[in-house]
């Protein structure tokens, strides 16, 4: 029946129904405005020709559905070895973060071997690992986890044996490697599940979670006063998972006068760093011990590239060729 | 006829002309408007992008850039004055006392020695009994595989039997009115018992309807019958596992002690936790730079002087 044949009220209802039905469905918005604001800041990336602003605290997305083209395209990837690529990008932020460099590494855990190395002084009194201690066959090495004084915080599995018991916290994430080389990301509540811990040969825990499994920024990182300092600037280090199962490791460095002052702990805020991980394509991510602890090494055909920290740490993730 | 045709033709023709005119006017105009709008938008975007890029450029390359300049001092990043450094040294000393066991608990050094001793003994046992451990592991794995298969087979067999019984009961309910009535009455009783939360009564009624349930470990018993029990662990292995557990426990105790020391440091420094952690990290950065004879960046002249004056004290307690 044509609409014109319907009596008044029914006709209006029918028109309204047709109008509603015809309106295309929009995806739920990623931005939810009514909440306390993050401190004002922005991030720009050097595209090779110009600075391109790609993130603002007053318009920050709550979820990263994929990489940001300008950021992802700014990395010139170099192959370190089969399954390991690395690159750098220049960033400009606010205040102390006005000149930053991010070192980015992509690792395919299916074609390399991941292991955890620990190092302590003779009496066990101090943590003792630095990038200079990385084994000579390491393709890449980076400090992982967090620590209070000497021993790593949270769950640690070394060579298939639990070395330290799990820690707890709402924003803690465990990264576990099983005997097949698959990397599992385990949230704070799931560590109790013995099935998820079975077959794990290496694991560590860290915090805070930067992105949850679907690229979502955890609510405490979206506004002040929810348990995370969203204002503090520091050198940052994080590990993330790309959609294809590869790992993404990002270390930020202060970028005045090249690497000379690289270890100075000036850098992005935690929300900015979460955005960087998301913009580089990570679907989930967790922060590692940055600040003066952050350090990384990559070996490629050109030699050894080292980004040193100012502090010795207890544990490192080491990437080796699959034997 | 011809008139009528002609009128109609004229009408159509007028309409056609009107449509054509509207179309000919509208299409290029819309196209031009779209192009002009696009150009204006692109130009605007370029201006905005350029402005943003200029602002970023100014931020990145300020005229008097001093990368080693101190950070902006605020509620979290405090300037390290003589007094504050003294407070921090006081906190660090108190934390060190906790680690040294002066509050009556075992010192960190003691705990580390005990842990390393347990780990060493465990490693020794594993090394000396490597062949026995390997043989046990092989036997255990074979037994486990056999048991998994047996448990799976037993479960399948029971499932089939249960399905068969359910079919028979259904058929009986269809053909036997007395049984059907009994089943309905039983279901009602069960519903009442369930509402009351009377699990014992529910269980009793279930047994009355279906007969006694099978024992919970029926599949395990079937596996025992087919494969025998799991082989007993060698004594050395049991001992080694005990030692590992002990070492883990001691590691946790070390972490707890370190946590306690860290909390004491903050408390005794009279700073907030965030202020203290920031100050401690900056001091570590300063000491590291001095150790490697490099210029410590990110400190004010006053801070460098104050830190330099207490460097030896800081190195002792850090």
Q: Transcribe A123-184 into DSSP letters.
A: TS-SB-B-GGGS-TT-SEEEE-S-BSSSSBSS-EEETTEEEEPPP--TT-EEEEEETTS-EE
SS3 content of chain B, % helix, strand, coil (to 5): 80, 0, 20
Candidates B56, B244, B285; nearest CB to A292: B285
Candidates B56, B255, B298; nearest CB to A51: B56
Candidates B259, B261, B297; nearest CB to A264: B297
Name every chain B residue with its beta carbon within 8 A of the beta carbon of A165.
248, 252
Asked if residue A33 has pLDDT above 60, the reply is no
Q: Which residue of B has its CA nearest to A50?
A: B53
Alpha-carbon gap: A9 to the closest alpha carbon of chain B (Å): 35
Q: Which residue of A has its CA nearest to B57?
A: A51
Q: Which comes out higher in pLDDT, residue A150 or A286?
A: A286
The pLDDT value recorded for residue B101 is: 92
Q: Which comes out higher in pLDDT, residue A265 or A234?
A: A234
What is the value of pTM for the model shown?
A: 0.73
- Confidence band, pLDDT 50/70/90 cuts, at residue A241: very high
Those residues of chain B whose CB sits closer than 8 Å to some CB in chain A are: 49, 52-53, 56-57, 59-60, 62, 65, 67-68, 71-72, 76, 99, 108-109, 112, 115-116, 244, 248, 251-252, 254-255, 258-259, 261-262, 274, 278, 281, 284-285, 288-289, 297-298
Q: Do B254 and A150 touch (CB under 8 A)?
A: yes
CA angle A296, A298, A299 (to 5 degrees): 150
Q: Do B109 and A125 touch (CB under 8 A)?
A: yes
Candidates A51, A162, A163; nearest CB to B53: A51
Q: Which comes out higher in pLDDT, residue A259 or A9?
A: A259
Q: Which comes out higher in pLDDT, residue B163 or A130?
A: A130
Q: Which residue of B has its CA nearest to A43?
A: B56
Name every chain B residue with its beta carbon within 8 A of the beta carbon of A229.
76, 274
Task: Flag residues of chain B having pLDDT under 70.
Answer: 1-49, 52, 54, 57-68
- Confidence band, pLDDT 50/70/90 cuts, at residue A103: very high
What single string gives the DSSP state of each residue in A72-131?
HHT---EEEETTEEEEEEEEE-SGGGSSEEEEEEEE-TTTEEEEEEE-B-TTS-SB-B-G
Cβ burial A6-43 (10 Å sphere, 16+ → b, else e) = eeeeeeeeeeeeeeeeeeeeeeeeeeeeeeeebeebbb
* Closest residue by Cα to residue A114 from A174, A159, A166: A159
Name every chain B residue with its beta carbon within 8 A of the beta carbon of A123.
109, 112
Candidates A98, A148, A164; nearest CB to B259: A148
The pLDDT value recorded for residue B47 is: 67
Name every chain B residue with its beta carbon within 8 A of the beta carbon of A148.
255, 258-259, 262
Name every chain B residue with its beta carbon within 8 A of the beta carbon of A254.
67
- Confidence band, pLDDT 50/70/90 cuts, at residue A303: very high
Asked if residue A189 has pLDDT above 90, the reply is no
Q: Do A50 and B53 touch (CB under 8 A)?
A: yes
Q: Do A310 and B65 touch (CB under 8 A)?
A: no
In this predicted structure, which of A18-27, A93-102, A133-142, A231-240 has the lowest mean pLDDT?
A18-27
Q: Which comes out higher in pLDDT, residue B65 or A110?
A: A110
Tell me the count of A-B CB pairs closer than 8 A: 100
Candidates A53, A99, A254; nearest CB to B60: A99
The pLDDT tens digits of the residues spanning B178-217 come to 888 888 888 888 899 988 888 888 888 888 777 777 777 8
The pLDDT tens digits of the residues spanning B208-241 come to 777 777 777 888 888 888 998 888 899 999 999 9
Q: Which residue of B has its CA nearest to A155?
A: B252
Helix (H, G, I), strand (E, B) or coil at A44: strand
Asked if residue A82 has pLDDT above 70, the reply is yes
Candidates B72, B255, B297; nearest CB to A95: B72
Q: Which comes out higher in pLDDT, residue A124 or A296?
A: A296
Name every chain A residue with its beta carbon within 8 A of the beta carbon of B49.
50, 52
- Whether ipTM tops 0.90, in short, is no
Helix (H, G, I), strand (E, B) or coil at B234: coil
The mean pLDDT of chain A is 87
| Both tokens assigned to B290 | 């001095």
Name every chain B residue with its beta carbon within 8 A of the beta carbon of A52.
49, 52-53
Q: Do A164 and B248 touch (CB under 8 A)?
A: yes
| Both tokens assigned to A163 | 């070395």
Q: How many CB atoms lie within 10 A of CB B166?
A: 11
Q: Which comes out higher in pLDDT, residue B18 or A104?
A: A104
The pLDDT value recorded for residue B44 is: 61
Q: Which comes out higher in pLDDT, residue A5 or B163?
A: B163
Q: Do A151 and B255 touch (CB under 8 A)?
A: yes
Domain ranges of chain B: 1-65, 70-114+247-318, 130-233
Alpha-carbon gap: A31 to the closest alpha carbon of chain B (Å): 22
Domain ranges of chain A: 38-321
The rounded distance, in Å, linking the Cα atoms of A138 and A299 is 7
Q: Do A125 and B244 touch (CB under 8 A)?
A: no
């Amino acid at each position: 029946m044509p609409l014109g044949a319907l009596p008044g009220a029914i006709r209006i209802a029918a028109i309204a129904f047709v109008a509603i039905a015809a309106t295309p469905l929009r995806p739920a918005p990623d931005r939810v405005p009514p909440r306390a604001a993050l401190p004002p800041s922005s991030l720009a990336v050097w595209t090779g020709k110009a600075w391109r602003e790609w993130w603002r605290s007053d318009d920050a997305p709550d979820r990263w559905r994929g990489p940001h083209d300008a950021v992802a395209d700014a990395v010139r990837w170099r192959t370190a070895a089969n399954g390991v690529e690395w690159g750098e990008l220049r960033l400009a932020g606010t205040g102390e973060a006005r000149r930053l460099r991010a070192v980015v590494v992509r690792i395919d855990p299916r074609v390399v071997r991941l292991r955890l190395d620990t190092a302590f002084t003779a009496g066990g009194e101090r943590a003792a690992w630095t990038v200079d201690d990385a084994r000579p066959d390491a393709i890449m090495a980076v400090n992982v986890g967090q620590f209070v004084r000497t021993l790593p915080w949270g769950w640690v599995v070394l060579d298939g044996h639990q070395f330290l018991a799990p820690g707890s916290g709402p924003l803690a994430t465990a990264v576990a490697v099983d005997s097949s080389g698959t990397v599992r990301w385990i949230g704070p509540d799931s560590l109790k599940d013995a099935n998820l811990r079975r077959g794990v040969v290496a694991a560590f825990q860290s915090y805070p979670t930067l992105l949850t499994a679907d690229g979502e920024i955890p609510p405490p990182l979206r506004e002040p006063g929810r348990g995370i300092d969203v204002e503090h600037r520091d050198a940052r280090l994080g590990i993330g998972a790309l959609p294809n199962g590869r790992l993404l490791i990002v270390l930020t460095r202060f970028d005045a006068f090249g690497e000379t002052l690289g270890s100075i702990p000036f850098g992005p805020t935690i929300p900015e760093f979460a955005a960087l991980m998301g913009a580089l394509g990570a679907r989930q991510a967790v922060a590692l011990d940055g600040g003066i602890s952050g350090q990384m090494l990559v070996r490629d055909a050109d030699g050894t590239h080292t980004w040193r920290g100012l502090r010795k740490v207890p544990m490192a993730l080491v990437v080796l060729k699959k034997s | 006829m011809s008139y009528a045709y002609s009128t109609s033709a004229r009408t159509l023709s007028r309409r056609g002309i009107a449509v054509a005119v509207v179309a000919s006017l509208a299409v290029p105009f819309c196209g031009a408007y779209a192009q002009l709008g696009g150009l204006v938008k692109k130009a605007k975007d370029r201006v905005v992008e350029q402005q943003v890029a200029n602002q970023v450029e100014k931020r990145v390359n300020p005229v008097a850039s001093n990368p080693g300049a101190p950070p902006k001092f605020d509620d979290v990043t405090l300037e390290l004055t003589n007094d504050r450094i003294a407070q921090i040294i006081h906190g660090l000393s108190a934390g060190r006392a906790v680690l040294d066991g002066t509050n009556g608990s075992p010192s960190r050094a003691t705990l580390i020695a005990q842990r390393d001793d347990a780990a060493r003994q465990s490693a020794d046992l594993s090394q000396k009994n490597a062949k026995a451990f390997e043989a046990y592991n092989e036997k255990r794995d074979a037994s486990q595989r056999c048991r998994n298969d047996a448990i799976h087979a037993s479960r399948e067999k029971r499932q089939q039997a249960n399905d068969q019984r359910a079919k028979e009961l259904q058929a009986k309910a269809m053909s036997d009115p007395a049984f059907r009535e009994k089943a309905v009455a039983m279901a009602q009783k069960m519903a009442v018992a369930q509402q009351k939360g009377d699990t014992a009564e529910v269980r009793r009624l279930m047994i009355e309807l279906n007969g006694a349930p099978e024992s919970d470990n029926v599949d395990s018993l079937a596996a025992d019958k087919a494969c025998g029990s799991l082989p007993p662990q060698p004594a050395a292995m049991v001992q080694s596992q005990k030692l590992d557990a002990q070492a883990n426990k001691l590691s946790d105790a070390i972490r707890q002690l370190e946590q306690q020391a860290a909390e004491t440091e903050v408390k005794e420094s009279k700073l907030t936790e965030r202020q203290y952690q920031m100050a401690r990290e900056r001091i570590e950065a300063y000491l590291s730079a001095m150790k490697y004879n490099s210029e410590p960046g990110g400190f004010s002249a006053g801070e460098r002087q104050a830190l330099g004056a207490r460097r030896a004290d800081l190195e002792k307690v850090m």
